[in-house]
């Protein structure tokens, strides 16, 4: 892996370690890992200053010029934050319209079931995008709906859902928007001046390129105030976490101190790269170089270019009889790249992530590794089966 230092000075993950072409945990910078080589007292002023700095930096990414929003970090993985957001901002007598087109939308609906709060679901299947007009029709049909939950990038297919279009309808119909921007925040714009969400969630180990251990909610202060007493859960109560943090500067319970230190370093690197625009440009370039190369090998993407996110891309498995995904996975790993199985129910697929500490030079090597792996398997074309193409035609319909 020693040859991977690139024109932009991206160091390889570590000697002998593979790149993680996965949507988090992902490959992080050496300096991000290095930032964890120290212990902090959770109540100490130094760590409180780190927490405050982190919240300020995250808010600076939202476009909030009127100081309308605040940021509340929360221990746990991203799903903990989704559950915290739903339990805290949706009142016990509220009702959520969940927009699903993949695993994360369905998980949010399942979370509503656990919460025992009213919800309804638009389920578009594996990857079809929920559109503004159908959301509008659903809101007209059910005046009890108070909130709409949208998934920004549905990481299971890699589709970039049309959140601006959905936000416009939700606003026009006088409802509140909640966004799971877990895998997009920091690389895809989600400006509060355009989207005006009530609350959104993301986590440390996605586009900001930190290590896993916590997530964060960014919400209107008015929503945070109104959330008092809503939560079903002590540890997932966003209002309580916010109120305690405002008062003492501390997290309510043991914070993931090392993860916060790493995240702060990751945020500084994000800023140095040019913020959301810079990070988004690198990931877009990663995607474009990787997709073009894979298409040259005969691979086809599930989604047409209009819906491809710069986060992760789904490819159909080749139809060739000698192609076996598990073997392809191992051959890619031998060459230094961890890819990701697909999540489609109808046809076989796999995914390649574009996020993490890597650039287009690395992506060219990913394509080269895929070519070699196919050769070693005796697969001379990566063209997908006809069933895959038929499935994809639904998107155009
Ligand atoms: C990663 C992710 C989550 C959270 O998953 P965890 O495994 O709990 O971190 C939620 N929604 C989306 C869209 C994601 O990509």
Q: Are residues 265 and 287 in the same domain?
A: no
Residues 317 and 235 in one domain: no
Q: Is the pLDDT of residue 259 over 90?
A: yes
Q: Are residues 199 and 304 in the same domain?
A: no
Residue 4 above 50 pLDDT?
Answer: no
Q: How far apart are CA 216 and CA 141, in angstroms?
A: 33
Q: What is the pLDDT of residues 267-310, one digit of tens each?
A: 999 999 999 999 999 999 999 999 999 999 999 999 999 999 99
Residue 10: the pLDDT is 78
Tens-place pLDDT, residues 73-125: 999 999 999 999 999 999 999 999 999 999 999 999 999 999 999 999 999 99
Same domain, 18 and 53: no
Assess whether 9 and 93 both reside in one domain: no
- Which residue has the CA at smallest separation from atom 2 of ligand 1? 182
* 132, part of any domain: yes
Q: What is the Cα–Cα distance from 197 to 216, expressed in whole angstroms?
A: 15
CATH number at residue 42: 3.40.640.10
**Nearest C-alpha neighbor of 389 from the set 308, 313, 302:** 302
Residue 33 lies in a domain: no
Residues 105 and 188 in one domain: yes
Query: Is residue 169 classed as helix, strand or coil in its secondary structure?
Result: helix
Residue 3 has pLDDT above 60, yes or no: no
What integer pLDDT is reported at residue 367 of this predicted model? 98
Positive or negative CA dihedral for 341, 344, 348, 352?
negative
**Distance from C-alpha of 233 to C-alpha of 147, rounded to nearest angstrom:** 20
* 374 vs 15, residue with greater confidence: 374
Same domain, 11 and 68: no
Domain holding 362, by residue range, is 4-28+274-396
Percent of the chain at pLDDT exceeding 90: 92
Domain containing residue 299: CATH number: 3.90.1150.10
Whether residue 105 sits in one domain with residue 116: yes
- Token digits for 41? 């007292």
In a shared domain, residues 117 and 12: no
Task: Fill in the DSSP letter of residue 321.
Answer: T
Local confidence band at 11 (pLDDT 50, 70, 90 cut-offs) = confident
pLDDT digits (tens, 9 = 90+) for 23-58: 989 999 999 999 999 999 998 999 999 999 999 999
Q: Which residue has the higher pLDDT, 233 or 343?
A: 233
Digit-coded pLDDT (tens) for 151-176: 999 999 999 999 999 999 999 999 99
Please check whether residue 231 is in contact with residue 84, taking contact to mean a CB–CB distance below 8 angstroms: yes
Say whether both 391 and 287 belong to one domain.
Answer: yes
- Is 24 near ligand 1, meaning CB less than 6 Å away? yes
* Confidence at residue 8, expressed as pLDDT on a 0 to 100 scale: 52
Q: Is residue 309 part of a domain?
A: yes
Best mutation site among 155, 210, 211 for ligand 1 pocket (most ligand atoms within 8 Å of CB): 155
pTM of the model: 0.96
Centroid of ligand 1 to alpha carbon of 26 (angstroms): 13
Q: Name the 3-class secondary structure at 178.
A: strand
Q: Which of 269, 84, 264, 68 is nearest to 182 (CA)?
A: 84
- Please count the structural domains in the chain: 2
- 350-385 pLDDT, tens digit per residue, is 999 999 999 999 999 999 999 999 999 999 999 999
* β-bridge partners, 176: 147
Give residue 44 CA to ligand 1 midpoint distance, Å.
31
Report whether residue 157 contacts ligand 1, using a CB cutoff of 6 Å.
no
Using the 3D structure, point to which of 248, 271, 294 is the last residue of a domain. 271
Residues 278 and 267 reside in one and the same domain: no
Same domain, yes or no, for 116 and 188? yes
């Amino acid at each position: 892996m020693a040859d991977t230092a690139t024109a932009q000075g991206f160091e390889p993950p570590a000697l002998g370690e593979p790149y993680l072409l996965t949507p988090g945990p992902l490959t992080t910078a050496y300096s991000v890992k290095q930032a964890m080589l120290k212990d902090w007292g959770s109540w100490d002023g130094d760590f409180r200053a780190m927490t405050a700095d982190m919240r300020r930096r995250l808010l600076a990414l939202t476009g909030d010029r009127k100081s309308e929003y605040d940021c509340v970090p929360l221990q746990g993985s991203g799903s903990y934050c989704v559950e915290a957001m739903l339990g805290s901002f949706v009142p016990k007598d509220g009702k959520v319209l969940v927009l699903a087109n993949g695993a994360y939308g369905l998980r949010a609906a399942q979370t509503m079931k656990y919460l025992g709060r009213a919800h309804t679901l638009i389920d578009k299947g594996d990857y079809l995008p929920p559109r503004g007009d159908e959301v509008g029709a659903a809101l007209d049909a059910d005046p009890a709906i108070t909130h709409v939950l949208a998934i920004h990038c549905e990481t299971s297919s890699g589709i970039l859902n049309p959140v601006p279009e959905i936000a416009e309808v939700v606003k026009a119909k006088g409802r509140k928007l909640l966004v799971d921007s877990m895998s997009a925040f920091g690389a895809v714009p989600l400006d509060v001046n355009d989207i005006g969400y009530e609350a959104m969630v993301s986590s440390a180990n996605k586009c900001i390129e930190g290590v896993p251990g916590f997530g964060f909610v960014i919400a209107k202060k008015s929503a945070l105030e109104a959330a008092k007493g809503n939560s079903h859960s002590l540890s997932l109560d966003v209002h309580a976490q916010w109120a305690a943090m405002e008062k003492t500067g501390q997290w309510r319970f043991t914070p993931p101190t090392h993860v916060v230190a790493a995240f702060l370093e990751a945020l500084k690197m994000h800023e140095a790269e040019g913020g959301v625009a810079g990070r988004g440009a690198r990931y877009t370039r990663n995607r474009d170089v990787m997709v073009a190369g894979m298409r040259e090998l005969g691979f086809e993407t599930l989604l047409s270019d209009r819906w491809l996110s710069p986060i992760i891309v789904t490819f159909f498995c080749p139809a060739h009889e000698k192609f076996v995904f598990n073997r392809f996975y191992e051959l890619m790993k031998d060459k230094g790249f961890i890819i990701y199985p697909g999540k489609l129910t109808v046809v076989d697929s796999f995914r390649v992530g574009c996020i993490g500490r890597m650039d287009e030079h690395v992506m060219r090597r990913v394509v080269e590794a895929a070519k070699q792996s196919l050769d070693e398997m005796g697969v001379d074309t990566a063209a997908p089966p006809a069933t895959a193409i038929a499935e994809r035609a639904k998107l155009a319909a």
